[in-house]
């Protein structure tokens, strides 16, 4: 609640649950205060078939979730010797002495099922809450440890089978995501809304999310005809947004680009100035990128632009490092140096400083070299530094995506 931590649990758990057909109705975050934790859990139990808590099971003094929930439910805590042994073993493997405080993680509320933690010390805990206690029906309460690399495998390997056995009837939601680029949110809706009306009256739900450089559209439906409705929607969307739809599902633009390059057996090199390695980073996040991505040159200095990309000293002098001429030489240099089929290059002024009246902060040139004539586009991306880098990397990937799409058809 102090803003130091980004809540990635919400996104990850919601996505995993949605892929199983379960829809999360509410997500709540509270401070590490015993009273607020108790209140939030009490309210959630009064509302839901399933409540999942994350975090607060660890060894430090602010880890009070287990304790407070046991108190709320009136379950005494007992030390589980097998958990103590597991924690001792973990510290032994790392040749470290087990701090005394760590032992608190072996406390288990009476009646709870223990989910062993294969990647850390604190186990998960599952409690059945009887019908009539907090609401008419029964609820299941699952406490998971906070660190993502402990939580995620525990959820996938232990919680999912448990949910599927316990709540088979709730998992009837079908959802599909469509990612588009090059159109604003209103225009995406304007293109498709009328044609989808027949389906929305039958229960299809539409959700739009405008992001930097892309608009995401989600189609969801419940019940026996859900899959059919969503599939019909997909046909309509594919027909109406052919030049803008780059992904059906969760694929990113970089994953789409890597897939097209792989299909076409083409290789790629990147030369980055103002994006500082982000394009290479995004591409190499995609498993299998090494088959098509040869390498990237982050040429921040003029020296590096000359040395690694063969940018001419005269070009830098007469046009400057941020210019159409320089980005053209960067793209062509990267392509020829790495013997790549395609190359993309970017140069610009990320800010906050470095702008001039003719080339203000946000000015960007993007070049794309291939066997065809090199193309250069210019843009002005006025954002904070990190958004600037992202938008610019998105434009560069978008430019390449459109070229690859044409090559395919």
Map the footprint of a copy of itself across residues 197-216, applying CB under 8 A. 206-210, 212, 216
Q: Does residue 401 have a cis bond before it (omega within 30 degrees)?
A: no
* b/e code 239-275 from CB counts within 10 Å (16+ = b): eebeebbbbeeebbbbbbbbbbbeeeebbbbbbbbbb
Smallest distance, a copy of itself to C-beta of residue 75, A: 25
From 108-116, 233-241, 311-319, 351-359, span contacting a copy of itself (CB under 8 A)? 351-359
Smallest distance, a copy of itself to C-beta of residue 149, A: 6
Task: Return the half-sphere exposure (C-beta side, CA atoms, 13 A cut-off) of residue 365.
Answer: 19
Decide the pairing of beta strands 268-272 and 173-180. unpaired
Task: List the one residue from 141, 270, 322, 404 that touches a copy of itself (CB under 8 A).
Answer: 270
* b/e code 161-187 from CB counts within 10 Å (16+ = b): eebeeeeeeebebbbbbbbbbbbeeee
Residues 299-328 that bind a copy of itself (CB under 8 A): 299-301, 303-304, 307-308
Residues 15-54 that bind a copy of itself (CB under 8 A): 15-18, 23-32, 36, 40
Task: List the one residue from 75, 129, 252, 383 that touches a copy of itself (CB under 8 A).
Answer: 383
DSSP-based three-state secondary structure for 301? coil
Contact status, residue 138 vs residue 129, Cβ threshold 8 Å: yes
- Total residues contacting a copy of itself (rule CB under 8 A)? 102
Binding mask 229-268 for a copy of itself (x = CB under 8 A): ---------------------x------------------
21: burial class by Cβ within 10 Å (0-12, 13-18, 19+)?
A: middle
Task: Return the half-sphere exposure (C-beta side, CA atoms, 13 A cut-off) of residue 203.
Answer: 13
Find, among 58, 21, 238, the residue nearest to 144 by Cα. Answer: 58
Find, among 340, 344, 346, 339, the residue nearest to 363 by Cα. Answer: 346
177 contacts a copy of itself (rule: CB under 8 A): yes
Nearer to a copy of itself, 90 or 129 (CB): 90
Nearer to a copy of itself, 264 or 387 (CB): 387
DSSP state of 217: E
Residues 112-141 that bind a copy of itself (CB under 8 A): none
In whole angstroms, what is the distance from residue 25 CA to residue 330 CA? Answer: 50
From 136-144, 258-266, 291-299, 395-403, span contacting a copy of itself (CB under 8 A)? 291-299
Residues 65-104 that bind a copy of itself (CB under 8 A): 96, 99, 101-102
Task: List the one residue from 51, 253, 280, 399 that touches a copy of itself (CB under 8 A).
Answer: 280
Smallest distance, a copy of itself to C-beta of residue 24, A: 5
Distances in whole angstroms, Cα of residue 249 to Cα of each of 107, 175, 279? 41, 9, 21
Task: List the one residue from 42, 71, 218, 319 that touches a copy of itself (CB under 8 A).
Answer: 218
Smallest distance, a copy of itself to C-beta of residue 409, A: 27
From 59-67, 133-141, 158-166, 230-238, span contacting a copy of itself (CB under 8 A)? 59-67
> Position of tokens 């434009």?
395
Nearer to a copy of itself, 131 or 210 (CB): 210
Distances in whole angstroms, Cα of residue 101 to Cα of each of 53, 92, 97, 107, 148? 22, 16, 12, 12, 22
Nearer to a copy of itself, 7 or 202 (CB): 7
276 contacts a copy of itself (rule: CB under 8 A): yes
């Amino acid at each position: 609640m102090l803003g130091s931590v980004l809540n990635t649990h919400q996104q990850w758990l919601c996505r995993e649950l949605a892929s199983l057909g379960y829809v999360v109705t509410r997500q709540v975050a509270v401070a590490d205060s015993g009273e607020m934790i108790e209140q939030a859990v009490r309210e959630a139990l009064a509302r839901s078939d399933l409540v999942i808590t994350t975090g607060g099971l660890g060894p430090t003094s602010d880890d009070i979730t287990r304790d407070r929930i046991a108190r709320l439910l009136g379950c005494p805590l007992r030390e589980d010797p097998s958990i103590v042994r597991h924690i001792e073993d973990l510290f032994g493997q790392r040749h470290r002495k087990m701090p005394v405080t760590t032992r608190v993680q072996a406390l288990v509320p009476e009646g709870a099922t223990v989910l062993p933690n294969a990647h850390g010390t604190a186990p998960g805990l599952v409690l059945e809450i009887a019908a009539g206690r907090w609401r008419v029906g029964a609820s299941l309460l699952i406490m998971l440890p906070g660190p993502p690399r402990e939580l995620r495998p525990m959820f996938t390997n232990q919680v999912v089978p448990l949910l599927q056995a316990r709540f088979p009837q709730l998992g009837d939601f079908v959802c599909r995501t469509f990612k588009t680029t090059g159109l604003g949110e209103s225009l995406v809706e304007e293109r498709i809304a009328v044609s989808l009306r027949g389906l929305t009256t039958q229960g299809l739900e539409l959700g739009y999310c405008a992001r930097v450089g892309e608009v995401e559209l989600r189609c969801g439906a419940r019940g026996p005809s859900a899959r059919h409705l969503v599939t019909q929607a997909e046909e309509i969307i594919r027909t109406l947004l052919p030049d803008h739809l780059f992904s059906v599902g969760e694929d990113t633009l970089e994953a789409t680009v890597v897939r097209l390059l792989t299909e076409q057996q083409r290789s790629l090199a990147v030369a980055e100035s103002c994006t500082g390695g982000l394009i290479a980073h995004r591409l190499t996040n995609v498993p299998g990128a090494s088959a098509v991505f040869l390498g990237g040159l982050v040429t921040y200095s003029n020296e590096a632009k000359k040395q690694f990309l063969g940018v001419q000293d005269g070009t830098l002098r007469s046009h400057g490092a941020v210019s159409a001429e320089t980005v053209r030489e960067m793209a062509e240099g990267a392509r020829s140096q790495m013997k790549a089929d395609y190359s993309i290059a970017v140069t610009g002024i990320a800010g906050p400083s470095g702008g001039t009246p003719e080339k203000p902060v946000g000015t960007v040139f993007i070049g794309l070299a291939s066997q065809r004539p090199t193309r250069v586009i210019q843009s002005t991306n006025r954002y904070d530094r990190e958004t600037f880098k992202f938008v610019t990397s998105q434009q560069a990937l978008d430019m390449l995506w459109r070229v690859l799409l044409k090559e395919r058809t």
